[in-house]
Amino acid sequence: MRARAAALAALARAAHAARTLCTQPPPAIAHAFSQTSRDPALKAGAFAPAVRKAARAVWQVAHKYSAIARTAFHADDSTLRHLQISQHTYSQLAQFLERVTSNSQERPPELDNVDLKPTTLEEKIALSASTQLAEISSKLFDNPTTGPGITHRHMEAVLAAVAACSGGAVWPRGVCAGRAGGAHCRVSLSPAWRLASTTPPDHAATLPLSHRLALKLEGVVLPPVPLSKRQKPRQVKGVQITVTATPHPRTNEKTVELNNIPPVLTAVQTVTPVRDFFSAQQLVSVSTPGLYTVAVEAAFVDENDQLWNTGPRTAIVIKAHEDPSVKGSTQATRSRF
């Protein structure tokens, strides 16, 4: 439902951006500004920046559907096909919006290799939006009467593309089957946070730089919700465990964003569950003192060796420091000379 709500919001944003060609006409300095910026699309005023922002929002929707398809482990093949069709449709719409505001009108070859053939009536209805997008793009860019620059024909094409993507989505019952919105397994990480004290600590464990932290993970695979009888549920052949250690930036703020910081340690191992139980161990070592977020993420591997990002992801914070004994022996050695 969140992906569908984000899709509707992106479509509304694209429609509003297309209408800016009439509601916000270009100013008198638009031509000079486009020459200074070396961007001919800015001659249309606020149309080009608004459509480009809408294209980025549509790309995010396509990534949401792709992420759902990679995590829907117990979904049937029909549901996965619908998710793939939705991802392809919104990727096609995002490329169409970028092509409208780009300097080159050539067709991007990224989506040409994707061959989606409907096998059911629901898939044919879902693919109708992609077919209409291809027709709208062909009529706009392959028409010899379409001149250079952004005109009202481009605005009408964007509105027609938004109208085509607003319908045609028919979802089967399997979209919510097999723990689609719940956890697929439960994990326990050791060492864990100590919650006995009244004030929560800023780290779960301490680690001297000359030592290694033994990290242990134990988990259990949860049974799936009963699916339809038309398809056999997927089997968990293995569980891929990914351990990362990301340093904290040196700041006084309590909340730290680690999105743009690369990890200093990445370890991947695959374990085989025994009667739905699995465990893994990993040694964690760092080279510089400070706070580190050690995250452990689980992913399923099915009987066809296909990886599914099912999760969950759990993390602790460790504090690395210099070993006092090593530091004291070094100072004593230096004092002799």
- Bigger pLDDT: 336 vs 189: 189
Asked whether residue 205 falls in the same domain as residue 252, the answer is yes
Query: Does 40 share its domain with 133?
Result: yes
Name the residue range of residue 273's domain. Answer: 185-327
In a domain, 332, yes or no: no
Same domain, 200 and 221: yes
Q: Which tens digit of pLDDT belongs to each residue from 258-312? A: 667 888 888 999 999 998 899 999 888 888 888 888 889 999 998 888 898 887 8
What pLDDT is attached to residue 336? 46
CA triplet 128, 73, 126: central angle to 5 degrees? 5
Dist CA 98 CA 48 (whole Å)? 9
Q: Same domain for 18 and 158? A: yes
Q: What is the pLDDT of residues 320-333, one digit of tens each?
A: 887 666 555 544 44
Residue 337 belongs to a domain: no
Is there a domain that residue 14 lies in? yes
Starting at the edge strand found earlier in the chain, the sheet holding 213-221 runs 185-190, 213-221, 277-284
Mean pLDDT of the chain: 78
Q: Is residue 334 part of a domain?
A: no
Residue 96 has pLDDT above 80, yes or no: yes
Whether 152 maps to a domain, the answer reads: yes
Same domain? 192 vs 170: no
Domain boundary among the residues 155, 176, 197 is at 176
Q: How far is CA 292 from CA 124, 242, 261, 316, in A?
A: 50, 16, 11, 8
> What CATH number does the domain containing 282 carry?
2.60.40.2550
User: What pLDDT does residue 183 have?
Assistant: 63
pTM (global) more than 0.85: no
Pair 95, 157 in one domain = yes
Tell whether 144 and 196 lie within a shared domain.
Answer: no
Q: Which of 176, 193, 214 is the last residue of a domain?
A: 176
In angstroms, what is the C-alpha Rg of the chain?
A: 27
Among 27-31, 210-214, 234-238, 291-295, the minimum mean pLDDT is found in 27-31
Quote the tokens at residue 136.
């709208």
Final residue in a domain of this structure, among 176, 205, 232: 176
| Number of domains forming the structure of the chain | 2
Whether residue 249 contacts residue 308, with contact meaning beta carbons closer than 8 Å, is answered with no
Residue pair 52/204 in contact by the 8 Å Cβ criterion: no
Instruction: In whole angstroms, give the CA distance from residue 111 to residue 91.
Output: 8
**Same-domain check for residues 273 and 133:** no
Tell whether 140 and 22 lie within a shared domain: yes
For residue 298, which of 241, 217, 244 has the smallest C-alpha distance? Answer: 241
pLDDT digits (tens, 9 = 90+) for 57-85: 999 999 998 888 888 887 777 788 888 88
**Which residue in the block uniquely carries the two structure tokens 């509003």?**
16
